[in-house]
Amino acid sequence: MNILDTIIHRKKEEISLSKAKVSVQELKDTEFFSRENLSLKENIKNKSGIIAEFKRQSPSKGIINDKVSPLEVVSAYENFGASGISILTDKGFFGGSFTDILHVRNQINIPILRKDFMVDEYQFYEAKSTGADVVLLIAACLSAQQTFEFTELSHELGLEVLLEIHTEEELKHYNPSIDLVGINNRNLKDFKVDLQHSVQLKNSLPENTLSVAESGIYTMQDYHYLKEKGFDGFLMGEYFMKNENPAQAFEEFISNIKV
């Protein structure tokens, strides 16, 4: 069993426990469920294109930064021009929680991506109830039919969808309803990074598909390479979070790409 299989197995156990504690109706009755969602798709087009991530840890890197608060970091991300915010909500492997979104939702005015392993309808109601605007669908975790059904459900709830792919086979998960397609530069099964592979996949997408480069962007050169190859957006977490002061790291990055 690889790490992705292990995560999904654990995730399904967590979902069963959550369903037993909080019903879908209770999620619908929460404060944020009726709010009008913000569009990451439009912000990608009109702002920096950077989806800046708050991430404490990962299975491949261990603890990245567990000293800073979500509000301190994401407020700076917004102030310095991020198109959107990505917040990890997986606790066991990434040290995240719903609380991280709840604590910042009323304090920022840009879209929030709930980044998690979405494998059950219940999770989409959870996402909506926390104030998320966008959900991540990871093709490696789903069938093409599930991707279609979860996209339909997301749109019914007013959520946008970022579909993540890594292989040519996963291109089959794409359908015209998808809002954005993320191409993960890192293989979730062995954690190897290959930017050229991502460029090849991007070139296989239908014309005018909004594309987001995800993970493995370690240098300014990596960013410029992917930008030159036509990526519209860039999901970046470790690049900023590995610094003692992620807010300052993001400000410096934005200043450099504007030069």
pLDDT digits (tens, 9 = 90+) for 202-225: 999 999 999 999 988 888 999 999
Angle between helices 220-228 and 246-258 (to 10 degrees): 50
Q: What is the pLDDT of residue 197?
A: 86
Q: What's the start-to-end Cα distance of the chain, in Å?
A: 46
pLDDT in tens, 144-180: 999 999 999 999 999 999 999 999 999 999 999 999 9
Q: Which residue, among 160, 111, 105, 153, has the nearest Cα to 131 in the 3D structure?
A: 105
Q: What is the pLDDT of residue 189?
A: 67
Q: Once rounded to an integer, what is the mean pLDDT over residues 41-67?
A: 92
Residue 196, both tokens: 């050229």
How crowded is residue 247: how many other Cβ atoms within 10 Å of its Cβ?
19
pLDDT in tens, 62-106: 899 989 999 999 999 999 999 999 999 999 989 999 999 999 999
Burial 179-196 (b: 16+ CB within 10 A, else e): bbbbbbbbbbeeeebebe
- pTM attached to this predicted model: 0.94
Find how far residue 96's CA is from the centre of its chain. Answer: 13
Evaluate whether 77 touches 85 at the Cβ level (below 8 Å): yes
The rounded radius of gyration (Å) of the Cα atoms in the chain is 17
Tally: H helices and E strands in the chain: 11, 10
Q: What is the pLDDT of residue 14?
A: 95
Residue at token pair 């709930």: 114
Class of domain 3-32+39-258: alpha beta
